[in-house]
Amino acid sequence: MANSFGVFSSQTFLIFVLLPSLFSALTAATNTLTPRPFNKIYAFGDSFTDTGNTKTATGPSGFGHVSTSPYGSTYFHHPTNRYSDGRLVIDFVTQSLSLPFLPPYLHNKDNATYGVNFAVGGATAINHAFFVKNNLSLDITPQSIQTQLIWFNKFLESKGCKAAESSVPQCQAAFDDALFWVGEIGVNDYAYTLGSSVTSDTIRKLAIPSFTNFLQALLKRGAKYVVVQGLPTTGCLPLAMYLAPEDDRDGIGCVKSVNNQSYTHNLVLQAQLQNLRQQFPQAVIVYADYWNAFRMVMKNPGKYGFKEPFKACCGSGEPPYNFNVFATCGSPSAKACPNPYQYINWDGVHLTEAMYKVMSDMFLSGTFSRPPFSYLLSRKQRDG
């Protein structure tokens, strides 16, 4: 093999050396000629969107190893406090818009030129006080979507934009050319009440008004371009499969009762989004259909390159889902699979980078956003 390198001429060597530099120059020139549609992104949500606001010491104790290997092993090659082996949907969104990864609000406030991520693992749509009142606060983080709104308002104030002065240049700078990406929120609300007397109807009736108030506050402050992810098919997660009786299954092998719960939640959410569109006609509000996108992959995983639709890549080894709530990913007895790109699920709840990539493609370029994300981009281009 070593002798084969001798056939390369000096011209060939120069080509290999110069091509990367030439490509970088062309890319830079293209970026200069084609302005980015958005200069910044503000992200909100829970652990599906969190890029580092929680760490091992502050996240939900059920998944208390996010700061340790093998989290982050696929793309970053080290833990980044993302609940995955690599990038999340929000990371693929930023890359698709030629923006850098978003810094987490709690740990990197100074680097906010291109936006901030306020999402936090374990977050709920309902305020924390509700769970405390019902003795359901043992294993949860205290932050809710309303907490993230408070953080966002504090961030704006730090930039000279106060609530009563929305027309000042500092506020215009914060909102102009900004995309608001709201990851799914509400899965934790239902999960935290499992086994309690609190019904899913109660959670839905409290969670959606709280979430709607959050969106309304963003829109009143000046948000013009908003993407809202619905809940995924949470009944397809290994945790749900592990906990549910085997006779509670739907046509694709997932937990029927849990998927129905998420589906009903999303129906009510979509009705509220339509009301908000009427209240704020100047804004573009896109619904990213996580439930149907996820279900599409589960119906035919092989089409998307997946061989393991139900088993976690990183877990205890316990059959049939490679999952045990007492030995989750990152704990001493858990191991990661060598091929996470063939798995939909990473650690029993959160998804692999490969699955997040498929989901982001479906939202950004596919048919699972309403109106299409391309419409949002065209409106932004038209309105300037």
Catalytically annotated residues: 47, 347, 350
Amino acid letter, 190: Y
144 DSSP assignment: B
Report d(CA 169, CA 167) in Å as an integer. Answer: 7
- Please report, for residues 61, 195, 235, 309, 369, the alpha-carbon distance to residue 243 in angstroms, rounded to integers and kept in the order given: 18, 11, 10, 17, 31
Short-list 332, 316, 315, 338, CA closest to 73? 338
Peptide bond connecting 320 to the previous residue in cis, omega within 30 degrees of 0: yes
Q: What are phi and psi of 309, to 5 degrees?
A: -80, -30
Report d(CA 102, CA 180) in Å as an integer. Answer: 12
> How many Cα atoms within 13 Å fall on the side-chain side of residue 294?
27
Give the pairing type, strands 284-288 and 225-229: parallel
Give the pairing type, strands 343-345 and 308-312: parallel
